[in-house]
Structure 1
Amino acid sequence: MNVPEGFGVVTPYIFADGAEEYVRFLEAAFDAHEVGRSTAPNGRIANCQLQFQVTTIMISEASEQFPATRAAHYLYVADADEAMAKAVQAGAEKIMDVGDMPYGDRQGGVRDPAGNIWWVSQRLTDEPYF
C-alpha cells in the first residue's frame, strides 16, 4: 500500500463554503501550511492540501454535489492556552475554556467559521490515554 508522505491512512477531507477564506483561517488559527492545490476551471479550490506539522488534511470548495461538511478534529499543540487564543483571534468561536482534563491533556474547544469543531489539546504526560 502506498500512502503519500504527510498523509495518514485516514485523511480528513473538508468541503467548505468559501474554501479560499477557510484555508486562510486554518493558516492563521492553527499554523497550517499549504503544500499543494488544484483549482477548477472557474478558479475555485478543487483540492488544497494543508499540513499541520506531520498531518495533512484536504479542503475543497463545497458545491451542490458535495455540500459543506462538518466534523470534529483533535489538534495536538505545544501550548493549549496560546493556541486557543490564536484561534479565537483568527475568528473561531470558543465553545470550551482551556482546562486540565482527567485523561492527561490540557484542552479547550473552538468552532471554526465553517462550523467544524477543533479540540485544541496539549498532552501533559507521556502516559497512554488508558
Structure 2
Amino acid sequence: MNTVTPHLLYEDVESALSFLTRAFGFEETLRYNDPAGYVSHAEMRLGEAVIMLGDPGPDYRGPGRRGGATVQIHVQVDDVDSLCRRAREAGANITADLEDQPYGDRSFSADDPEGHAWTFGQTIREVAPEDWGAVAT
C-alpha cells in the first residue's frame, strides 16, 4: 500500500496541535517532546487522513512569515458545511467561502495561524471530468 502523509513544519507545534483540533477536528495520535521540553514531532488523524507536524528549528520561517503558502493541503470530509462553521468559530482565516464546484465538490479554504493553506471538500455529485473541462488520462 502506498500513502502520502503531509509532514508540516510549525514554529510552534503545540499551538498548531491545539488549533488543528479546535478548528478542523483533527485528533492527536502521537507526540514526541524534545528533552528541552518543546514538541518536536506529532501526528494527527482526521478519519483516515494522517498528518505529521514537526519543529524545524530556529532558522525556519513558515509560510505566514514568508508572505504566502507554497503548498495547499486538501482533505475530503463527510460534512464540509459543519466543518466550515467549526473552523470559522475557532478563528480560522477563511480564504474562500463554501461553494459548490463544477467538478462536483462543495469546498472552502482556510489558512491556519502560521499560514499553511488548507482546503476541505465534500463530494456532493458525480461529474465526469469532460463535463467540467478536464481530461481523464
Give the TM-score, by structure 1 length: 0.84
1:72 aligns with 2:72: yes
**Percent identity of paired positions between Structure 1 and Structure 2:** 27
Q: Report the 3-state secondary structure (helix = DSSP H, G, I; strand = E; otherwise coil) of the residue aligned with 1:73.
A: strand
Determine the C-alpha separation between the residues in 2 that align with 1:26 and 1:12.
Answer: 14
- 1:126 positional shift: 4.6
- 1:82 positional shift: 1.6
Give the TM-score, by structure 2 length: 0.80
Residues 103 and 127 in structure 2, CA contact (< 8 A), matched pair in contact too: no
Runs of 4+ in 1 over 2 A off after TM superposition: 64-71, 125-130
RMSD (Å) for aligned C-alpha atoms? 2.0
Higher relative helix content: 2
Structure 2: which 5+ runs fail to align?
64-68, 130-135
**Structure 2 match to 1:60:** 54
Q: Which has the larger radius of gyration?
A: 2
Q: How many residues align?
A: 124
Once the two structures are superposed, the pairs formed by residues 1-130 of structure 1 within 5 Å of their partners are: 9-64=3-58, 66-68=60-62, 70=69, 71-126=71-126, 130=136
- 1:81 positional shift: 1.9
Q: Report the 3-state secondary structure (helix = DSSP H, G, I; strand = E; otherwise coil) of the residue aligned with 1:86.
A: helix
Q: 1:102 to 1:21 in 2, by over 3 A?
A: same
Determine the C-alpha separation between the residues in 2 that align with 1:65 and 1:10.
Answer: 26
